[in-house]
Structure 1
Amino acid sequence: MAKEIKKRRGVWFWAFWVLLLTLLLSVVLVLTALFRVGDQSGFSSRPFARSQASFDVVLTRTQVNAISAKFLKEQKIKNLSLDVGAQQADLYGSVKFLGSNINVGVAFTPSVAPDGSILLRAKRLVAGSMPLPISFVLRYIGSAANLPKFVNINAAKKTIRIDISRMKTGRLLTFKAKTIDLKKDKIIFQGDLK
């Protein structure tokens, strides 16, 4: 009987060592495969052109209105609102003039400038219920308002240029206007790498 126990012990003893060696060998093989420099010919390390990373962002008038409302809110501009309609973009707000708040409305026709900026041509300007000369008011706004660097007012041409490529969008991307077609409800911006 003592002989049988010794045989069983020998079988379990060898089974333990075979299992342990198998596990150690498996760990060594896995680690070797992980840290070995393999064939990387399937991976492309060639640089990509910027044009290959461009993409389009297609918006509707409703989406542009929502985005502009959020932008004005984040910039803490409470006295302005933008309404992009099928014919024009209307900017409403109140301006302090001679110590009084005056309701102002400007109707713009938006277009895309050759450099991808948004060009707003003022068609009509109303303060209270009185129409005003557009160039005079734009000149006043340009001198009195603290406008961001990406907004440029040309009172002589009755235009406001919004260079969206200069807007803060992070360190990776930049945008420019591609198409503004209010009648078809299609506003397209092109995104590119900086």
Structure 2
Amino acid sequence: MNKWKIAFWIIVTLNITVLVGVCYLLLSESSPEEPYNTTQVELETNLDNVQLFVDTSTTSAENVINEYITDKMKDNPIKYRVIFNSSSIEIAGIVPVLDTHIPFTLAFTPKIDENGTLLLSYKSVRLGKFKLPVTTVFTYMNDYYRLPEWVIVQPDEKQIQIVFQDIKIAGHSYKVQLTEFDLLNDSIVFALNR
């Protein structure tokens, strides 16, 4: 037998031995010398100053918002969705009028105030091919849309406030604060504070 065949079989045997050993160690049950006792572990937690940051993309945020709208507004005859563009936020939908549906688009410029509230400033409003006065549209929204209490339509200021601090998260006392809203760089960051 030549030396290359012998070297080959030695390497194959070593590989198989290592593979069997690793499989044995991974698959065998471990029996620690001291069993884990959960009553002996004491956790010290201070939940008074908890802060968690959530960083998401505009696409993910748009999907969550539209799912929320679809779920909460399923009985509303006015159907709409939110669209994030590189510099604006649009609310686009349809309004039933007699036997037809007329498309509408509201465009806003977003910015964050010092409290982490999202301010959507009026950019344009269209119903079909017509531009409409923003105060009329915002008044209509206040009167006929069932909006959550944390969405405040302000016709006189020509803006919509989304007050994240007023959002209740599963009955907990967490406060949501928007810390970054950058459509151009596809980044939205929320802080959850307790």
TM surpasses 0.5: yes
Which residue of structure 1 lines up, in the alignment, with residue 185 of structure 2?
Answer: 184
Number of aligned residues: 154
Poorly superposed stretches of 4+, deviation over 6 Å: none
SS at match of 2:184: coil
Q: CA deviation at 1:162?
A: 1.1
Corresponding position: 1:72 with 2:73: no
Counterpart among 42, 46, 49 of residue 48 in structure 1: 46
Structure 2 Cα separation of the partners of residues 97 and 145 of structure 1: 16
Task: Tell me the alpha carbon deviations over residues 64-115 of structure 1, each in whole angstroms, 9 at most, x when there is no partner.
Answer: 1111121112214471111111111111012346786432101111111222
Please tell me the root mean square deviation across aligned C-alpha atoms, in Å: 2.6
Which residue of structure 2 lines up, in the alignment, with residue 63 of structure 1?
Answer: 60
Partner AA of 2:126 in structure 1: V
Partner AA of 2:185 in structure 1: K
Which residue of structure 1 lines up, in the alignment, with residue 16 of structure 2?
Answer: none
Corresponding position: 1:162 with 2:183: no
Which of 165-174 and 111-120 deviates more? 165-174
Which residue of structure 1 lines up, in the alignment, with residue 175 of structure 2?
Answer: 174
> Which is higher, the Rg of structure 1 or of structure 2?
1
Task: Tell me the alpha carbon deviations over residues 23-70 of structure 1, each in whole angstroms, 9 at most, x when there is no partner.
Answer: xxxxxxxxxxx8xx98x9xx675x73633x101111111111111121
SS at match of 2:122: strand
Identity of aligned pairs, percent?
A: 20
SS at match of 2:136: helix
Q: 1:49 to 1:170 in 2, by over 3 A?
A: closer
Structure 1 Cα separation of the partners of residues 46 and 96 of structure 2: 51
Which of 131-140 and 73-82 deviates more? 73-82
Listed as ranges, the gaps of 5+ residues in structure 2 are 1-36
Which residue of structure 1 lines up, in the alignment, with residue 34 of structure 2?
Answer: none
Residues 35-184 of structure 1 mapped to structure 2, 5 A cutoff: 48=46, 50-51=48-49, 53-77=50-74, 79-96=79-96, 101-172=101-172, 173-184=174-185
Q: 1:147 to 1:57 in 2, by over 3 A?
A: same
Structure 2 Cα separation of the partners of residues 179 and 118 of structure 1: 10
